Structure 1
Amino acid sequence: MNEYKIEDLLFEELILMDQEASDYEDLITQIGELAFEKGYVDKEFSKAVIEREKLYPTGLPTNKVKVAIPHAMVRDNVKKSAIIISKLKKPVLFKEMGSSTDSFIPVDIVFLLAVNGSKDQLTILQKLVGMFSDDDAMVKLNDMKTASDTIGVLKEILSQ
């Protein structure tokens, strides 16, 4: 990522703490509405993310803290690249990535990507997946109580 670092895509105003949602569609809609209100995406963004999630689920069966990394197939909906993070009060079920059955993951943290370039998105996904496999880092991240602390820990982890 020559243009920017993954850390440059993190904004306190896009870190949601103790969020509640009835299901993954409700959650993605809430996140998309926030990103729209803040000027990062257009009105159709959350719909595009939900459509992609139905075709290509993003729930990951990580060890300690379960995560999902939803994103849209079409990036035309993104005005300003960002990673929107939602730490959930209670887990929300996401279908497991790559599962041929209806296997669901009770997700604790969602990293919703709103990124313009497909190469940039792939780089971000690789960096995040690397972080997800670090159990200690994920527990530390999950223990953060404020958006500011969450960003601090993410920047520390992702800059390694």
Structure 2
Amino acid sequence: MVLNLIDTSDIFINKKYSDPQEYFEDMYNHLFPEGKVKEQFLGNILQREQKYPTGLDTGAIKVAIPHTDFTNSNVTQLVVTTFQEPVIFHQMDDFDKTIPVNLAIMILFNNAEKQPEMLQYIMKIVQSQQNLQAILNETDTEKMKTLFKEFGGLYHE
């Protein structure tokens, strides 16, 4: 069965945030009323980002892959956000470094076994600067969803 991994209502294009906390609060305020995350999601993702930052230096276009424990989500899907101006995240492999992130791909998963698969799927997409540039250039949510399917392949449950 192919999962509906990205919902067009959860693709945000050209958003402006002053910092990761503002981004996380906005995402929570969107996702919680939809029933996709639990009440404790915001506190947990902020806490996790402090301990285990998610900024990934993928080259000229940098990505953040924020996520939290599966117990905080009711669904398995991605939430895609392109930033109007880069948002400064701490780097995943070196907490002391910060990087300007252009794209956030938030992972929501409601089953612990899904995390490695989701990360693998995302890594297929973010390893190519060409893919990332195409994503940043896209202004239509349906076309953005198609790009993810094209670059990451079909996601099977």
Work out whether the TM-score is over 0.5: yes
Aligned length: 154
List structure 1 segments (4+ residues) > 6 angstroms apart after TM superposition.
none
The answer on whether the counterparts of 2:126 and 2:132 sit within 8 Å (CA) in structure 1 is: yes
What is the alpha-carbon distance in structure 2 between the residues aligned to residue 57 and residue 99 of structure 1? 9
Q: Does 1:82 align with 2:77?
A: yes
| TM-score normalised by structure 2 residue count | 0.91
Q: Does 1:46 align with 2:42?
A: yes
Gaps spanning 5+ residues in structure 1: where?
A: none
SS in 2 for 1:16: strand
Q: Does 1:13 align with 2:14?
A: no
Aligned with residue 28 of structure 2, among 28, 32, 35 = 32
Bigger fraction of residues in strand:
2
Aligned with residue 131 of structure 2, among 125, 137, 143 = 137
Bigger fraction of residues in helix:
1
Paired residues for 1:109-120 under 5 Å: 109-120=103-114
Deviations 1:58-85 (A, max 9, x none): 100111321000111x322211222111
The answer on whether the counterparts of 1:64 and 1:135 sit within 8 Å (CA) in structure 2 is: yes
Gaps spanning 5+ residues in structure 2: where?
A: none
What is the alpha-carbon distance in structure 1 between the residues aligned to residue 2 and residue 114 of structure 2? 9
Q: Using the TM superposition, give the Cα deviation of residue 118 of structure 1 relative to its aligned residue in structure 2, in angstroms.
A: 2.1
Aligned counterpart, 1:62: 58
Identity score, percent: 24
Alpha-carbon RMSD across the aligned residues, in angstroms, is: 1.5
SS in 2 for 1:116: coil
What is the alpha-carbon distance in structure 2 between the residues aligned to residue 147 and residue 110 of structure 1? 15
Aligned counterpart, 2:92: 97
Aligned counterpart, 2:152: 158
| TM-score normalised by structure 1 residue count | 0.90
